[in-house]
Amino acid sequence: MTDTAMTTEAIKQEERQSKIRANLKARHAAEKRFRSYGLVAIGAALLALSTLFFTIISNGASALFQTEVRMTIQLDSTLDPETMRAGDYQILIKKSLRDMFPDVARRDRKDLYAVVSNGAWYELLNHVQANPDLVGQTIEIWLPAADDVDMLMKGYIDRELPESDRRVNDQQIAWIDALVANDAIEKKFNTRLFTSGDSREPELAGFAGAAVGSFYTLLVTLALSFPIGVAAAVYLEEFAPKNKWTDLIEVNINNLAAVPSIVFGLLGLALFLNWFGLPRSAPLVGGMVLTLMTLPTIIIASRASLKSVPPSIREAALGMGASRLQVVGHHVLPLALPGMLTGTIIGMAQALGETAPLLMIGMVAFIADIPGGPTDPATVMPVQIYLWADSPERAFVERTSAAIMALLAFLIAMNLSAVLLRKRFERRW
């Protein structure tokens, strides 16, 4: 009797175990499936990212080099660099070209002059003004080639196309080939890209003006949004009573973070430009508009960071007889600061990449000068990218990608510093 009972019990036990085993198989399979979904998701993200980087780098890498022509210029001793005008330098360059190709017919000379950049005289002028003792000598100088020549040298213009469809005619190709044969034309590192302001001539255009504009804009944004954001977060988190009003404020701050940035641009246009009469196109106003946009991000991040400070620290300080302000100033704020800085950097990175609101306040203008201060007219990196992407010249395509590369480098550097900052100052309890 007991034996049978025991065997039935044993059989039941065996059944239970086999049920668990069968179930276990399904559970493991589910986990495997879940992991593979995750891997696919990460793979898709990485693929998108690498495609982005590959396209941008392969498009933009060639912008790091610019075709230049070696010119021999005779600076007559009768010239006075102080009184010489643009035209005089253009004449010198044209003369040098004619000397290089003496057989060119008068009617083809315009095509010959078009080999060298329209703005090459400006570099010659700068060179002579920097070295006045060169007057009276014959100098050799590398001057930028025209953008079409540059494109041909980089292989973006197909020589096989019929002449009428080509931006460079057969004769020009012949001259260029002659220059190549003489080593008088070469691709050199494009310092202008990093040191010049914008230009209508792609070969002379650089993003230094936009980068400096971005710098001033971010400086203004940081100077305004960090103190305001931190003060607001500290007040809301540590001092404000918890009631309907603070709830309302919290909801609205979260809403503000989701408002399309163009709206902030319109607000800036109406308020800062039309009402306060601040200068148009200025990084000062750009920074103020971006402050409106960045504030919610900083406030939300700062509040989260304040919330993560353990209450035991506050209790300890209160129990010692510290006032509310001392509790915050001596203990909570120092512990929350790394998180606040991380949030701020992320907000700044957002602001750095922002275009739409700045269009509204006139930072989209063509500005060739590098701004000297936050009230000078300026543009910013993303707007510069927008302007270049809109330009018809083929040579602006690679410059657009190069500017994107520079902007991405800044963004990566900022986000990296946010991560490092968090790692460096993170405390565990």
Partner 1 sequence: MAAVEQVVQSEPGTGRVKMRGDNVRVYYGEKQALFDVNLDIYEREVTALIGPSGCGKSTFLRCLNRMNDVVEICRVEGSITMDGQDIYAKDVDPVHLRAQVGMVFQKPNPFPKSIYDNVAYGPRIHGLVSSKSQLDDLVEESLRKASIWEEVKDRLDAPGTGLSGGQQQRLCIARAIAVKPEVILMDEPCSALDPIATAKIEDLIHELRENYTIVIVTHSMQQAARVSQKTAFFHLGNLVEVGDTEKIFTNPEDERTQGYITGRFG
| Identity of the amino acid at 4 | T
Residues near 284 by beta carbon (within 8 Å), at least 6 away in sequence: 216, 220, 278, 374, 375
Distance CA 98, CA 116 (A): 12
Near partner 1 in 323-362, by CB under 8 A:
323, 326, 330-331, 335
Q: In the complex with partner 1, which residue's Cβ is closer, 280 or 314?
A: 314
Q: Does 307 bind partner 1 (CB under 8 A)?
A: no
Question: What is the DSSP track for 31-51?
Answer: HHHHHHHHHHHHHHHHHHHHH
Residues near 273 by beta carbon (within 8 Å), at least 6 away in sequence: 280, 285, 361, 362
Q: In the complex with partner 1, which residue's Cβ is closer, 167 or 331?
A: 331
Smallest separation (angstroms) from partner 1 to the CB of 342: 18
Q: Does 308 bind partner 1 (CB under 8 A)?
A: no
Q: Where are the beta strands (DSSP E) in 168-292?
A: 185-189
Q: In the complex with partner 1, which residue's Cβ is closer, 328 or 380?
A: 328
- Position among 102, 241, 277, 392 found at the interface with partner 1 (CB under 8 A): 241
- Position among 107, 242, 244, 423 found at the interface with partner 1 (CB under 8 A): 242
Stretch of 40-48, 143-151, 306-314, 340-348 contacting partner 1, by CB under 8 A: 306-314
- Position among 316, 413, 416, 420 found at the interface with partner 1 (CB under 8 A): 316
Give the helix/strand (H/E) hosting 294. Answer: helix 283-307
Q: Does 312 bind partner 1 (CB under 8 A)?
A: yes
- Position among 140, 177, 315, 426 found at the interface with partner 1 (CB under 8 A): 315
Task: Report which DSSP code applies to 73.
Answer: E
Give strand pairing partners of 419: none
Smallest separation (angstroms) from partner 1 to the CB of 208: 44
In terms of phi and psi (left: phi > 0; alpha: psi -120 to 50; beta: otherwise), the region of 393 is beta
Q: Within 13 Å and on the Cβ side, how many CA atoms surround 317?
A: 17
Near partner 1 in 210-239, by CB under 8 A:
none
Residues near 299 by beta carbon (within 8 Å), at least 6 away in sequence: 229, 232, 233, 236, 253
Q: In the complex with partner 1, which residue's Cβ is closer, 224 or 322?
A: 322
Residues near 134 by beta carbon (within 8 Å), at least 6 away in sequence: 75, 127, 128
Q: In the complex with partner 1, which residue's Cβ is closer, 128 or 309?
A: 309
Distance CA 195, CA 197 (A): 7
Smallest separation (angstroms) from partner 1 to the CB of 308: 13
Stretch of 198-206, 212-220, 228-236, 321-329 contacting partner 1, by CB under 8 A: 321-329
Smallest separation (angstroms) from partner 1 to the CB of 345: 23
Q: In the complex with partner 1, which residue's Cβ is closer, 340 or 405?
A: 340
Residues near 40 by beta carbon (within 8 Å), at least 6 away in sequence: none
Residues that bind partner 1 (CB under 8 A): 241-242, 310, 312-323, 326, 330-331, 335, 427, 429
